[in-house]
Amino acid sequence: MNAFDFLTPDRIKKPGEGITMMLDKGMGLIAVEDLMELASEYVDLAKLGWGTSAVHDREIIKEKVETYLSYGVTPYPGGTLLEVAYLQKKLDQFLDEAQKLGFGAIEISDGSVDMPRTEREKIISEVKNRGFMVITEVGKKDPTKDAQFTPYDRVRMVNFDLEAGADKVLIEAREGGKGIGIYDGNGKVKEDDVEIFIENTNINNIIWEAPQKDQQVYLILKFGSNVNLGNIPPEELTALETMRLGLRGDTLGKVNL
């Protein structure tokens, strides 16, 4: 039982909703264990950001993966690592190693590379057939390139990935959440873009990368406490959950549980 349990509302989630994806940029084993003991019930996915899992000892990565899994959290390597494997024509080796390490999901992105849709579809299918959860990402890392996409372009890419077999689609925002995807150069949500998503795709299949507090607040108030959010810093997991539950001033009396 939590402290002050009588003041805390229940957040009841249906499968596939209310997902929180945390960004692990290179946490140590003790830090992961401590965080999971405290807040594992508030996180569903742990992304080992970009290529970070390739620069640490293999046994440490394996142990981190096992720790996440033991707390019911699905870990996965960042999409940039798959892009590196794609460029080097080593996708099979990459997926073999991901399976041996115990990762439960794979992110398929083309944020820094050019990947034809036929190739993307093929990779989604292969990853799915290997038994991984498939998470794709829509958007480019370079703000100049990302700005070339209209909201309708992004919607088409989201729907393409879902039809190809993706379980969830991330909307790129990077670690900073500025000048990418649905955010302007100051990190403010472009509300008209969000409305286009609402009208043209299934929002429950989207994970909005939202590293900034104001972005998280906007999306919670817009879609309710069970909106899917990603790129959450580890130290913000508890704070995010309080906002989902209306236990912080930003959402107190406003949140739709």
Residue 93 lies inside a defined structural domain of this protein: yes
Q: What is the pLDDT of residues 11-47, one digit of tens each?
A: 888 899 999 999 999 999 999 999 999 999 999 999 9
- What per-residue confidence (pLDDT) applies to 256? 74
- What per-residue confidence (pLDDT) applies to 11? 87
- What per-residue confidence (pLDDT) applies to 9? 84
Residues of the chain falling short of pLDDT 70? none
Residue 68 lies inside a defined structural domain of this protein: yes
Number of structural domains the chain divides into: 1
- The enclosing domain of 92 has a CATH number of 3.20.20.70
Q: Which domain holds residue 101?
A: 13-244
Residue 142 lies inside a defined structural domain of this protein: yes
- What per-residue confidence (pLDDT) applies to 172? 96
Residue 4 lies inside a defined structural domain of this protein: no
Structure tokens at 137: 């990402």
